[in-house]
């Protein structure tokens, strides 16, 4: 919404520069996107007069014009416009000028003929094509005959008027008009304003109701009024009116249409004018469209309507889309003599839905969606009729025709100074507050510390005491509100154990060399379903923007593999990532998915690169398993973690993947990504893990307690054995632990060998066993007995051969 600085100054005493005024508006009312003039960035564009012209000898469409720009000698300018005319005052860009699009004009030869500047159309000096009147669409623009030669053109075209572009929030529909802005600024500057734009006396003898009938369903249009103006002379508006409109971004059409638009910009009331002769049976009604009905709107779009649409129709057909745009058939043209002007209030929700459905967001719909001043509808209608009498020689018929007429009363809200200060933290007196309300044009009735505040209908968004508090805050000034910290009962701020565990998990993995990645929760259907330990239904978006982000992820790894692919495609080979976040599982009968916290890691390449003294070791299964194992150790889990070979996850290497179990429960997996999956992602060999963090959060934790360090020496024994290839370390380890007796403290696997001197089908394992008795010196016999027992069980149960 553009606001004209010059127009504001007609009503207010403003001592601020346009920029400072913009700043003031931003601090007290609504955001300001920009403050600019149409002449910004333009220079050396002056008034000239065409003295004579002749056809270019070598180019039929070009004319060689002699232009008087108030200098001694005329300027020769070659011009391609079709409408050059001797005697006309035109816009001349001199050599060295800067015109629209930041283009610099230089002297040049055009097809061999010297041209010392350019004659300009409005679009060439920065006007958007959307605001250039149709009559000036092609060709150069003619300035008023009294424009002074050699003067800058900017003032003649209103281009020096500073325009303040407001970004109006949904609650400040009142700021979508000059009237609203003037009242608001009057409160800010503490000035008195009078904005009663009264209509002139109707010149017509007949009554409006003899020519037109109106009907409106109050749900669709709570207020709907019509007025007839006869014998109008439709022609272009005077320049001052055209300037006002184009500066506000509205294209001048003709005097009647321009007046309806001017009244909308000035008073905030959208209006529409119909050619009375095109209204069948002189009957206008607001109704729901019939399915299949069609209308061609003023933008020349044919639209097929449904029962959701609301139309203005005569007895035969729709002649307008209610609150959006008029129809093409009944529009005011140069042949129109009698018109009917419509002023209504259309229901916000219906207007909004229609605008969305038709992709037709207009100045009118923008206003009806946010609401308009219901107390000023008829006044605006009469004011417009008066202007049409003045500027189009029409004769307004007597009175208005009413289709619907909601009774609108100002709202009265009860509030107290105590309440306002209680919310704002201020200590304003009742007098100061009353003064602010008066500045806003509200009336205040004081009754023992209770204030009854009556709000005029032009501030229709103020309904409850919180709204009044906002008015006080912004007029008093947010900068003047003190800065304090809350005074309340002391509360304890602390993370929950779950939050703490998640935070610690991130820290540990960072310490283990993995970088924290955050990838997208929405992914493709295929990726969402990867790396699943359990079946789950996927959760789809109804209307995704792209297939890349259409389904909620059920794993973190697919996102991390995408990340690795992104990096490796850019020459970053060694990529160690972890991610912590939610995945989304859903049972078939579940609508809303269950959100589960996961943590996952993926490493491709090496954790550390080769250097002068260290060779990089590419990540492998045991490297990744070590990272997971160490991480899990930090969680003080009470139950034991174990690893179990699995070939059930199709995206994982069938021989290099282990389920991770906590007690008997599977909590995740670790291993190598299946080479086919890696190939599909275009990544190098990658090792990964993914864990259910929620299960780790709820898992039983061991109480950490100090155990006395034994003062007695420990005894170590090494055991080497030959075992069958299919026997796992876990099996051997379990027997050693189980049979090792009370003093076996630690078992460490220190060698695995299946090379030379080991029979086929066998492998050699070697363990170091450490025994310790905290109470007395261990005797060799005790240890020998334990080792014998272990040996016996290994031989009996696993058929091992001790070496």
Partner 1 sequence: MSLKEDLETIKQNGLKEIDASTDVKSLNEIRVQLLGKKGPITQALRGISKLPVEERPVVGSFANIIRDELATAITTKQTELENAKLNAKLAEEKLDVTLPGNQVALGHPHVIQQIIDEIEDIFIGMGYQVLNGPEVEEDHYNFEMMNLPKDHPARDMQDTFYITKEILMRTHTSPMQARSLEKHDFSKGPLKMISPGVVFRRDTDDPTHSHQFHQVEGIMIDKHITMADLKGTLETMTHKLFGDKFKVRLRPSYFPFTEPSVEADITCMNCGGKGCDVCKGSGWIEVLGAGMVHPNVLKMAGVDPKEYGGFAFGVGPDRFAMLKYGVNDIRDFYLDDLRFLSQFD
Segment 354 to 383, residues that bind partner 1, using CB under 8 A: 356, 369-370
Residues 529-568 within binding reach of partner 1 (CB under 8 A): 539-545, 549, 552, 560, 563, 566-567
137 near partner 1 (CB under 8 A): no
Measured in whole angstroms, the distance separating CA 471 from the mean position of its chain's CA atoms is: 27
506 near partner 1 (CB under 8 A): yes
Binding range to partner 1, per CB under 8 A, among 225-233, 498-506, 524-532, 722-730: 498-506
Is 77:45 a contact under the CB 8 Å cutoff?
Answer: no
CA–CA separation, 619 and 514 (whole Å): 12
Q: With DSSP H G I counted as helix, E B as strand and the rest as coil, what are the percentages for the chain, rounded to 5? A: 30, 30, 40
CA–CA separation, 559 and 207 (whole Å): 73
Q: Which of 192, 240, 349, 535 binds partner 1 (CB under 8 A)?
A: 349
Binding range to partner 1, per CB under 8 A, among 515-523, 687-695, 719-727, 791-799: 515-523
31 near partner 1 (CB under 8 A): yes
Is 29:172 a contact under the CB 8 Å cutoff?
Answer: yes
Q: Which of 51, 357, 412, 478 binds partner 1 (CB under 8 A)?
A: 478
Nearer to partner 1, 496 or 708 (CB): 496
Nearer to partner 1, 255 or 568 (CB): 568
Count of residues making up the chain: 803
Asked whether the CA dihedral 206, 210, 211, 212 is positive or negative, the reply is positive
CA–CA separation, 402 and 728 (whole Å): 93
User: Running DSSP on this structure, what letter comes out for residue 216?
Assistant: E
Q: Which of 516, 700, 775, 779 binds partner 1 (CB under 8 A)?
A: 516
Pairing of strands 108-110, 113-115: antiparallel
584 near partner 1 (CB under 8 A): yes
Q: Which of 119, 514, 554, 670 binds partner 1 (CB under 8 A)?
A: 514
Binding mask 448-467 for partner 1 (x = CB under 8 A): ----------------x-xx
Q: How many CA atoms lie within 13 A of 704 on its CB side?
A: 5
Nearer to partner 1, 478 or 750 (CB): 478
CA–CA separation, 585 and 532 (whole Å): 10
Binding mask 308-347 for partner 1 (x = CB under 8 A): ----------------------------------------
Pairing of strands 515-516, 575-585: parallel
Residues 210-269 within binding reach of partner 1 (CB under 8 A): none
Q: Which of 343, 522, 715, 727 binds partner 1 (CB under 8 A)?
A: 522
Smallest separation, CB 672 to partner 1 (Å): 19
CA–CA separation, 380 and 399 (whole Å): 13
Nearest by Cα to 153 from 36, 47, 6, 37: 47
Smallest separation, CB 549 to partner 1 (Å): 6
37 near partner 1 (CB under 8 A): no
Binding range to partner 1, per CB under 8 A, among 226-234, 280-288, 490-498, 786-794: 490-498
Q: Which of 359, 489, 588, 760 binds partner 1 (CB under 8 A)?
A: 489
Smallest separation, CB 778 to partner 1 (Å): 38
Binding range to partner 1, per CB under 8 A, among 168-176, 209-217, 628-636, 725-733: 168-176
Residues 667-726 within binding reach of partner 1 (CB under 8 A): none
188 near partner 1 (CB under 8 A): no
Binding mask 596-635 for partner 1 (x = CB under 8 A): -----------xxx-xxxx---------------------
Measured in whole angstroms, the distance separating CA 153 from the mean position of its chain's CA atoms is: 40
Nearer to partner 1, 283 or 467 (CB): 467
425 near partner 1 (CB under 8 A): yes
Asked whether the CA dihedral 775, 779, 782, 788 is positive or negative, the reply is positive
CA–CA separation, 687 and 363 (whole Å): 59
Which residues make Cβ contacts (< 8 Å) with residue 20, sequence separation at least 6?
none
Is 227:338 a contact under the CB 8 Å cutoff?
Answer: no
Q: Which of 2, 6, 16, 23 binds partner 1 (CB under 8 A)?
A: 23
Smallest separation, CB 725 to partner 1 (Å): 34
Q: What is the DSSP string of 532-561?
A: -SS--B--B-SS-SSGGG-EE-S-SHHHHH
492 near partner 1 (CB under 8 A): yes
Conformational region of residue 268, where left means phi above 0, alpha means psi within -120 to 50, and beta covers everything else: left
């Amino acid at each position: 919404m553009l606001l004209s600085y010059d127009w504001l100054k007609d009503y207010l005493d403003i001592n601020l520069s346009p920029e400072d005024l913009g700043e003031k508006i931003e601090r007290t009312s609504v955001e300001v996107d920009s403050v600019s003039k149409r002449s910004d960035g333009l220079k050396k564009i002056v008034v000239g007069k065409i003295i004579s012209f002749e056809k270019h000898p070598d180019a039929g469409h070009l004319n060689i014009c002699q232009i008087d720009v108030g200098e001694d000698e005329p300027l020769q300018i070659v011009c391609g416009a079709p409408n050059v005319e001797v005697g006309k005052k035109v816009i001349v860009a001199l050599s060295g000028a800067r015109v629209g699009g930041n283009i610099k004009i230089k002297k040049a030869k055009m097809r061999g003929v010297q041209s010392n500047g350019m004659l300009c159309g409005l679009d060439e000096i920065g006007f958007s094509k959307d605001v250039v009147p149709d009559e000036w669409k092609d060709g150069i623009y003619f300035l008023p005959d009294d424009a002074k030669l050699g003067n800058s053109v900017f003032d003649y075209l209103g281009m020096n008027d500073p325009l303040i572009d407001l970004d109006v929030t949904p609650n400040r529909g009142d700021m979508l008009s000059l009237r609203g802005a003037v009242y608001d600024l009057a409160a800010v500057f503490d000035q008195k304003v009078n904005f009663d734009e009264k209509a002139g006396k109707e010149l017509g003898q007949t009554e409006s109701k003899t020519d037109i009938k109106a009907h409106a369903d109050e749900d669709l249009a709570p207020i709907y009024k019509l007025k007839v103006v006869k014998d109008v002379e439709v022609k272009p508006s005077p320049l001052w009116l055209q300037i006002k409109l184009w500066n506000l971004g509205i294209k001048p059409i003709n005097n009647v249409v321009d007046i309806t638009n001017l009244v909308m910009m000035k008073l905030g009331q959208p209006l529409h004018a119909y050619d009375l002769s095109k209204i069948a049976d002189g009957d206008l009604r607001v109704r729901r469209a019939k399915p299949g009905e069609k209308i061609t709107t003023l933008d020349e779009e044919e639209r097929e309507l449904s029962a959701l649409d609301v139309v203005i129709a005569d007895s035969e057909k729709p002649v307008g889309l209610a609150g959006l745009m008029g129809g093409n058939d009944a529009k005011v043209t140069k042949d129109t003599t009698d018109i009917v002007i419509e002023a209504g209030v259309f229901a916000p929700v219906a207007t909004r839905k229609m605008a969305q459905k038709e992709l037709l967001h207009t100045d009118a719909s923008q206003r009806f969606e946010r609401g308009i001043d219901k107390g000023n509808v008829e006044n605006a209608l009469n004011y417009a009729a008066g202007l049409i009498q003045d500027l189009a020689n029409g004769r307004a018929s007597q009175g208005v025709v009413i289709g619907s007429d909601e009774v609108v009363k100002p709202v009265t809200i009860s509030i107290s100074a105590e309440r306002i200060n209680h919310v704002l933290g201020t200590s304003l007196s009742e007098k100061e507050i009353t003064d602010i309300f008066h500045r806003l044009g509200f009336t205040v009735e004081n009754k023992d510390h209770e204030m009854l505040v009556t709000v005029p209908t032009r501030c229709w968004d103020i309904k409850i005491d919180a709204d009044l508090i906002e008015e006080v805050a912004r007029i008093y000034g947010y900068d003047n509100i003190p800065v304090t910290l809350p005074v309340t009962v002391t509360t304890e701020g602390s993370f929950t154990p779950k939050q703490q565990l998640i935070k610690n998990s991130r820290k540990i993995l960072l310490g283990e060399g993995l970088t924290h990645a955050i990838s997208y929760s929405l992914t493709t259907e295929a990726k969402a379903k990867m790396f699943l330990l359990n079946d789950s239904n996927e959760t789809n978006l109804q209307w995704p923007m792209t297939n890349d982000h259409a389904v909620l992820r059920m794993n973190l790894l697919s996102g991390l593999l995408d990340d690795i692919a992104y990096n490796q495609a850019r020459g970053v080979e060694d990529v160690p990532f972890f991610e912590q976040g939610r995945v989304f599982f859903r049972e078939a009968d579940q609508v809303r998915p269950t959100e589960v916290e996961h943590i996952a890691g993926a490493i491709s390449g090496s954790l550390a690169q080769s250097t002068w003294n260290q060779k990089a070791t590419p990540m492998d299964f045991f490297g990744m398993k070590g990272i997971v194992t160490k991480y899990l150790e930090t969680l003080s889990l009470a139950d034991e973690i174990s690893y179990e070979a699995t070939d059930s996850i199709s995206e994982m290497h069938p021989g290099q993947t282990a389920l991770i179990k906590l007690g008997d429960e599977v909590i995740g997996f670790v291993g190598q990504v299946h080479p086919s999956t890696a190939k599909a992602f275009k990544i190098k060999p990658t090792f990964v893990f993914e864990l259910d963090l929620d299960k780790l959060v709820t898992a039983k934790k061991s109480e950490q307690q100090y155990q006395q360090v034994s003062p007695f020496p420990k005894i170590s024994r090494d055991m080497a054995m030959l075992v069958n290839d299919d026997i796992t370390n876990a099996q051997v380890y379990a027997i050693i632990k189980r049979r090792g007796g009370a003093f076996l403290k630690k078992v460490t696997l220190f060698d695995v060998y299946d090379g030379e001197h080991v029979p086929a089908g066998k492998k050699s394992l070697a363990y170091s066993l450490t025994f310790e008795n905290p109470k007395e010196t261990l005797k060799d016999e005790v240890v020998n007995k334990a080792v014998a027992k272990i040996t016996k069980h290994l031989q009996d149960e696993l058929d091992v051969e001790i070496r």
